[in-house]
Amino acid sequence: MMTHGANIHKYAKEIECHPDEIIDFSSNVNLYQPEIKLSLSPTTIAKYPDVNYTELKEIIAKKYEIQSEQIALYKGATSAIHTLLKSLKREDVYLYEPLFGEYEKAAKKKNIYRVNRITDLEHEPTEDSIVVFVNPSTPEGEYYNLAKLFELWMDANCTIILDESFLEFEELASYRDRINEYKKLYIIQSFSKFHSCAGVRVGAIFSHKKNIKKLPNELWSISSLDELFLKERLVDEEFAKESRRVHKEQKTELSTILEESGHFDEIVESDTNFILTNTPKGQELFEHLLKHKILTRPCQSFTYLSEDWLRFAVKDKQSHQALKEALLAFT
């Protein structure tokens, strides 16, 4: 069972091909990947990074309209998630599922309560508990208006963890501006998705500066190369602009291909860069596409979903054409 997308090495070995031959629709990283031009010198590699990552935090603060003191950096969003949940003392954790599986792993030593956000969105958590919500959601990519739910959580004095890692593809509204207003709010930010750099391991927690000061801080958790790349990518306004243009165009194309194939009972409208589908032949379709060196994301590892649900990330025209042809060949 696939528990995370982008495991192309496993499936390449299974079908006896090179990993580069696989078209990876399971990986929801931004498809726009321009040439990288870094001014790399031997000095950059030889010296230790700034232990406080001052310049990088200033760039992040400016881009996300917060303060440098409201940022904690970690070696990827997964590390940020585990560090945060381990540091919080509250024992009751409400996971609004389906959601990214690392949250359950990170909370495994606490009392986990599952809330089906599809059928029971306004479930009331206990007083002073932790709530975790991914917005836009995964695996279906829906953006929720959380105004009513956020008030419910605040009234219950909950510690709120919002994961906004897929927010930037369509410039959706963030809750970052509530950090000072509600001091028990934490926002998880992955940089790998929109900024197309899964190989660069940098993730962040945004919160009130008093919370940030209390979080564990590992020395030099981010390499000089990670820092250098991200600083240049975050200030590249043309990258963000072109990413959204290409995303919009290609998402429409992918949606049309899936609809016209006739293989899906349901195609969920998405607010980000992947599309969730349902077919009673989910496992057969997954295996058929894999034979065509196309890897999708089966979703039975998500709570409340089965192998009938397959997720497709938005890709380029050539990849979409290969998918279209493979779908036409499926009976």
User: Residue 38 pLDDT more than 80?
Assistant: no
Residue 3 lies in a domain: no
Q: Are residues 149 and 272 in the same domain?
A: no
Min mean pLDDT across 32-36, 143-147, 149-153, 281-285 is at 32-36
Give a yes or no: residue 52 inside a domain: yes
Residue 33 falls inside a structural domain: no
Which has the higher per-residue pLDDT, 20 or 323? 323
Interval 255-262 mean pLDDT: 97
111 and 249 inside one domain:
no
User: Looking at 25-39, 188-202, 225-239, 255-269, which range is the least confident one?
Assistant: 25-39
Average pLDDT over residues 149-165: 97
Say if residue 110 is in the same domain as residue 152: yes
Task: Report d(CA 23, CA 12) in Å as an integer.
Answer: 11
- The percent of residues in the chain predicted with pLDDT above 70, rounded, is 98
Residue 21 lies in a domain: yes
Q: What is the pLDDT of residue 156?
A: 97
Out of 195, 210, 235, a domain closes at 235
Q: At what angle do helices 224-234 and 54-64 cross, to 10 degrees?
A: 30
134: how many CB neighbours lie within 10 A of its CB?
24
Q: pLDDT tier at 249 (50, 70, 90 boundaries)?
A: very high
Task: Identify whether residues 46 and 183 lie together within a single domain.
Answer: yes
Q: How many whole angstroms separate alpha carbon 63 and alpha carbon 176? A: 12
Once rounded to an integer, what is the mean pLDDT over residues 208-230?
Answer: 91
Q: Does the residue 2 lie in any domain?
A: no
- Count up the domains in the chain and report the number: 2
Same domain, 180 and 135: yes
Confidence of residue 267 (pLDDT cuts 50, 70, 90): very high
Residue 229 and residue 283 share a domain: no
Q: Return d(Cα 283, Cα 7) in angstroms, integer.
A: 17
Supply the range of the domain harboring residue 116: 42-235
CA distance 163 to 205: 9
- Please count the CA atoms within 13 angstroms of the CA of 154 that sit on its side-chain side: 13
pLDDT over 90 percentage in the chain: 82
Residues 224 and 287 in one domain: no
CATH classification of the domain holding 20: 3.90.1150.10
Higher pLDDT, 7 or 276: 276
159-163 and 185-190 beta bridge pairing: parallel
